[in-house]
Amino acid sequence: METQPLVTIIPWTFIAQILNLFIQMYLIKRFLFKPVNEILAKRQALTDKEISDAREAKADADKIREEYEGQMAGAKAEANKIISDAKKDAQDQADKMIKDAETAAHDIKAKAEADIEQEKKKAINEAKDQIGGLAMDIAGKVVEKEIREEDHRKLIDDFISKVGEAS
């Protein structure tokens, strides 16, 4: 019995298989690789465009954020300035009101002191007049003697001046 070899190469079959392989490679390259490569190139271009758009959008967002932060800082500074101006105005107004009140109080006090001084002088003068009249009545009753008019006036004036000095 004769044994067959396990692997045998038949030359016409081998050539046909090689030709079949080259034909398949050509067909795959023409109808499969070219369209797939074109689709991949389009996808790559679309992805690159989306990435560049995203970078531009991020740059725009960063720019807008910086502008917003600048505006917020400016608004905060302006608010602080308005608050400080309002505090200063309020303090100035309060100081003015206090000064006006002090001036009014001083004026009222000065007027009251002048009124008191005038009433004091008036009361002293009235008291002097009453004391002078009483002194004349008393002197006339106590002495009951004749005094010259000139001496009598001198006594009354001395008495009134002493009463004025005592008060």
- The verdict on residue 38 lying in a domain is yes
- The verdict on residue 23 lying in a domain is yes
Number of CB atoms found within 10 A of residue 21's CB: 10
Q: What is the pLDDT of residue 143?
A: 62
- The verdict on residue 5 lying in a domain is no
CB 138 within 8 A of CB 151: no
DSSP labels, 14-59: HHHHHHHHHHHHHHHIIIIIHHHHHHHHHHHHHHHHHHHHHHHHHH
pLDDT tens-digit readout, 25-65? 999 888 888 888 899 999 999 999 999 999 999 999 999 99
- The verdict on residue 110 lying in a domain is yes
Q: What is the pLDDT of residue 81?
A: 95
Q: What is the pLDDT of residue 149?
A: 73
CB 156 within 8 A of CB 135: yes
- The verdict on residue 1 lying in a domain is no
**What is the three-class DSSP state of 146?**
coil
Domain residues for the domain of 122 are 13-166
Q: What is the pLDDT of residue 125?
A: 82
Write down the mean pLDDT value for the chain: 86
Mean pLDDT throughout 5-32?
88
Confidence of residue 130 (pLDDT cuts 50, 70, 90): confident
- The verdict on residue 8 lying in a domain is no
Number of compact structural domains in the chain = 1
- The verdict on residue 52 lying in a domain is yes
- The verdict on residue 45 lying in a domain is yes
Counting residues of the chain whose pLDDT is more than 70, the rounded percentage is 85
Show the CA angle centred on residue 136, arms to residues 134 and 137, nearest 5°. 65
Which backbone phi and psi does 43 adopt, to 5 degrees?
A: -65, -40
Whether the predicted model's global pTM rises above the 0.75 cut: no
